[in-house]
Amino acid sequence: MTKAIHILSTAPARARMRQGDDFQYSPRPFEVICTALSALMWRNTNGPVGLFTDSYGYEYYRDIGILDVWDAGINTEVLENMPDINHSIFWAASKLFALREESAPVAMIDTDLIIWKNLDNFFEKDSISVLHREELIECYVNKEDLKVRPGYSFNPEWNWKEKPCNTAFAYFNNQDFKQDYIAHAMDFMTGNNEPAMENVSQMVFAEQRLLAMHAASKGIGIIPLVDDPFQKENDIFTHLWGAKDMAREFPHQAEMLVNSMMNKLRSLSEDTARTLASKFNLTL
């Protein structure tokens, strides 16, 4: 049994708001259904799952009546009391704050990722497991092009040729390494307030590239769930990363996605399926 955590922070959306505007968390139906399915599938195949969120996320899930999908509890204190990080630049920083609070072994799962199988075979001592490795594409900019605060210096032991880790899924069984990785990521983010033009490179360095480089420097192995995220032979997970854009743009795509996920959700929890069907006016 492996505990997992979901993380939902509204801080990035609130940071992008115009001053004086009111904020209301209002995800699309397919996003909520995917989150519930992600939690219930992990419970069905791997172990308990908890949620780290803030007051906006908690109140939304409370009001629609699905707090019980997280059987390992819900924590709002951590994300309500994050240190001063620029959440417009470091939009996934909340994942690291939440992960820091958990004791290894623990898995971190994005709310748009569904794991269909037991993953015990991917977990080895003194290794981390991630969704897959990334190529050094354009968002992974040269060291000289990363924004840093005055006085910051990169670890000279890091190998910049290491392929980054996609951390939509990440499993840690070494507590000391987990905390050390997070400390390095926090050091890079703290006081680092100059935005990059593309609003991506800073965060993917702190969360994904730094992880790979630091693991290599410490002799920690990295086990991907798949070698190629686009390979046809993948019955381990579904990641809605690209499908979300299609669903937002084309209502028919959103409808098909919702129907597919609701059918699976119903097989896991009739009560949760009925609750969400009522909330979003869906027919079961």
pTM above 0.85, yes or no: yes
pLDDT of residue 20: 65
pLDDT tens column, 153-165? 999 999 999 999 9
pLDDT tens column, 8-22? 999 999 988 777 678
Question: Taking Cα atoms as reference points, which of 272, 273, 172, 155 lies closest to residue 222?
Answer: 172
CA 27/CA 29 separation, integer angstroms:
7
Contacts for 142-151: CB closer than 8 Å, 24+ residues apart: 145/201, 146/196, 146/201, 146/202, 146/205, 147/192, 147/194, 147/195, 147/196, 147/202, 148/188, 148/192, 149/190, 149/191, 149/192, 149/193
- Between the alpha carbon of residue 1 and those of residues 68, 78, 189, the distances in Å are 19, 24, 33
pLDDT tens column, 123-171? 998 899 999 999 999 999 999 999 999 999 999 999 999 999 999 999 9
